[in-house]
Structure 1
């Protein structure tokens, strides 16, 4: 099952790069909007919409990176007091529960995209499904990471 870990690591690396590029694009668009509005007294009609879409993509994809790194905020006072076997069992249970949520994220994300497929964004006229594609996409990435983390948790702790 080493291929699952390699897939998870590879996808995570690609997502990290993508998030970095999206963040730079968002900073550029926001900077341009400020310059045009206050320097040239002319507003870019599309900049707020693009900035909002980029922020949503950065948020969802960034969350998958944090999940892979186990960097999400957590309260583990009680968990740290458990015996190693109980801790691993609880971790597996929570990974399974997370996996169920990720499948729901994928299924309902796709369903929502189909629901709004005929709508267009206000400023640029892009299909509304484009900004929301990140929901099922991030669900797939989350699920791959969850499987990889679950397989890691099956290994006995090294001494």
Structure 2
């Protein structure tokens, strides 16, 4: 039974990781196409594409939030391990616990604030695309949830890992 739960969790985790990668890369690809086209239209044809700026902004927020969660998954976020690794083991673990708790608290604040902000937007819509702002800002909520999930997965490892030998 325990192995079955682990297999289900592993499958769900794989889907989440795939979602983070696929959506981040797709949004970045769309941005990479839209921005040069918008520049061409604006400066060469002297006619901007009205919806391009709104869409790029929305996609950029999505890329940042999902990319941050993906960075936790891939252990790519920067930290102060150079200083911490030189400290004695009890101090090293204490500092890591504190920094991990501060990070988790920060992510919780982002999550809570984004929920409050989304609720406060009401029926407001974007100027050109007419997409509800609440849907656009849900990218922040989704990103915060995914970052907390990814962070909790590696938190124990981040606290207990031993520094590499030099």
Change (3 A) 1:156 1:64: closer
| TM-score using structure 1 length | 0.82
Counterpart-to-counterpart distance in 2, 1:94 and 1:86? 12
Contact in 2 for aligned 1:5/1:148 (Cα 8 Å) = no
Q: Is the Cα contact below 8 Å between 1:8 and 1:144 reproduced in 2? A: no
After TM superposition, the structure 1 stretch with the greater mean CA deviation from structure 2, 57-66 or 9-18, is 9-18
| TM-score between both structures, scaled by the size of structure 2 | 0.79
Correspondent of 2:119 among 92, 106, 114: 114
Structure 2 match to 1:13? 18
4+ residue runs of structure 1 moved beyond 6 angstroms?
none
Q: In structure 1, which of residues 142, 152, 158 is the aligned counterpart of residue 157 of structure 2?
A: 152
Do the aligned residues in 2 keep the contact of 1:8 with 1:148 (CA within 8 Å)? no
RMSD: 2.9
Residue 155 and residue 49 in structure 1: after superposition, are their counterparts in 2 closer, same or farther (change >3 A)? same
Deviations 1:46-66 (A, max 9, x none): 111111111121112212222
How many equivalent residue pairs?
Answer: 159
Cα offsets for 1:103-141 (capped at 9, x unmatched): 222121111001012211111111011221111111111
Q: Which residue of 2 is the match for residue 68 of structure 1?
A: 73
Alpha-carbon distance in 1 for matches of 2:152, 2:6: 11
Unaligned segments of structure 1, at least 5 residues: none
Bigger RCO (CA 8 Å, 6+ sep):
1
Contact 2:93 2:160 in 1 (8 A): no
Provide the residue aligned with 2:109 in structure 1.
Answer: 104
